Structure 1
């Protein structure tokens, strides 16, 4: 898709100049578009304005540099093109909710506020997404049981699902993929995965794990297509949707619901619902 290719060229241009002042005219001219056309197209393709993306990338890389080096804060601010220590501190606090020195010490930043470099695969995928959440629901408490993967490798997650499938009393019953995040909130959000069914629908084994999905309010998203692209949908949910809406994350887990819309792991028409717990905006 030509538009995605042009946007990726713009992203590469931005990345090379994170430490410099870059304006929209310059980026647009580099990829051969008018300023007006580029601004609208960038927003339509990426779901971010040019300014939002550039600022978020500068602050994300600055945050990583602060945590991983001993550079002075003022030097990091200049490194990423901020005019002064004060300007950098205000922008950092506004995006991440902590001051640069607090973050460098023992502060925490929710991973969804970190802006990774946009990739062509992600841009291709979000062109096919329903951009808005499927809805908001209130759920009752539900007890599930299954097999967990402490390592997040695809092979281990597949093994959990295979074991669950073999021990389900009724294979037509709904299944759940519980994603529990490490509360450390570092750059690479660690998580454990639990492939589960409602407790009464699975033969109990000693090595199984039980989890209670708490009652509460959830935002529901629908992933369409192969399960291989689920990580891209999660990136959209946490990297774009929640940064543009007022709902607050409530809890360190979310879950995938494999119900009647699920047609198979590789089917393009397959639907998986993703439930994210929230508190009132």
Structure 2
């Protein structure tokens, strides 16, 4: 068994026993490692110490449960391994900047720590060969566009450390940006009502920051006024297509795993450099949407 398989086994165990007391000793035995080497290997592969990872996954699962207003917050805390309301509240506020009560009364999208699928770090698929793993289907292809494609929308800039899926916690500001775009979409000149939507990550104007564009297809040559324009230039692109069971899993889980696989595994193993942007292409943000694509341009 490969080292990553031993750690993945314990990651799966943690998820299945998230509401129970989880001891390092139990996890190390499951991985057939000493506690010392298990903790070193876990931190190396998952990028978090074991106990910190368990806490973050408990907070992620608890934050989802808070949407059920019929369940008491204390019961949710106990269900996900927190020994008291006070401890749950302290950890929740430290991670997200608000109490569970504040989140429940005024829900926002959160950056939660996603359960890793370590297989994606060690599996190299060929082009046009689908990979099925951990509830997602992923495939790498090439596409060529022969004419520029135009988009109009909104742009935000924030510290790289707050990037969703990067391992940090807090409020999902990109989700708020998409909400703002959809609220304004009908009034943006030139927007094509049934056109694709595009989210683009690209370099920021300040050190340690990145920018993100959220928009939709626009009629070529239209004046978008005070809104931001983005052009997907003609040429060949590497496209990572992926699917999930529903829209929430698509945008809150699968997209981060697909990004990581494309940029940390597939592109480096093909010695391929790309332009400094990644475009997430959605048919729409409808709850019925279960697939999307990440587009990058080889250089």
Identify the TM-score tier after normalising by the shorter chain: 0.5 to 0.7
CA displacement at 1:205 relative to structure 2: 2.1
What 5-or-longer segments of structure 2 have no aligned partner?
124-137, 157-173, 180-196, 203-218, 231-237, 242-254, 279-299
Residue 83 of structure 1 corresponds to which residue in structure 2? 83
Residue 211 of structure 1 corresponds to which residue in structure 2? 228
Determine which of 189, 192, 199 is the counterpart of 1:193: 199
Change (3 A) 1:99 1:273: farther
Superposed, 1:26-65 pairs within 5 Å as 26-65=26-65
Q: Please tell me whether the aligned partners of residues 98 and 107 of structure 1 are also in contact (alpha carbons under 8 angstroms).
A: no
Q: Distance in 1 between matches of 2:18 and 2:101?
A: 21
Q: Please tell me whether the aligned partners of residues 43 and 49 of structure 2 are also in contact (alpha carbons under 8 angstroms).
A: yes
Q: Please tell me whether the aligned partners of residues 67 and 103 of structure 1 are also in contact (alpha carbons under 8 angstroms).
A: no
Alpha-carbon displacement from aligned partner over 1:27-69 (angstroms, at most 9, x marks no partner)? 1112211100100000111111101110000010000000245
Superposed, 1:230-241 pairs within 5 Å as 231-232=256-257, 234=259
Determine which of 183, 192, 196 is the counterpart of 2:176: 183
Q: Distance in 1 between matches of 2:178 and 2:73?
A: 21
CA displacement at 1:92 relative to structure 2: 0.7
Q: Please tell me whether the aligned partners of residues 93 and 99 of structure 1 are also in contact (alpha carbons under 8 angstroms).
A: yes
RMSD between superposed Cα atoms in Å:
4.1
Q: Report how many aligned residue pairs link the two structures.
A: 182
Change (3 A) 1:94 1:274: farther
Q: Please tell me whether the aligned partners of residues 73 and 85 of structure 1 are also in contact (alpha carbons under 8 angstroms).
A: yes
CA displacement at 1:267 relative to structure 2: 8.4
Residue 147 of structure 2 corresponds to which residue in structure 1? 166
Change (3 A) 1:84 1:274: farther
Residue 146 of structure 1 corresponds to which residue in structure 2? none
Q: Please tell me whether the aligned partners of residues 200 and 277 of structure 2 are also in contact (alpha carbons under 8 angstroms).
A: no
Q: Distance in 2 between matches of 1:166 and 1:228?
A: 21
Give the alignment's TM-score, normalised by structure 1: 0.53
What 5-or-longer segments of structure 1 have no aligned partner?
126-153, 169-177, 197-203, 214-225, 237-255, 257-264, 277-281
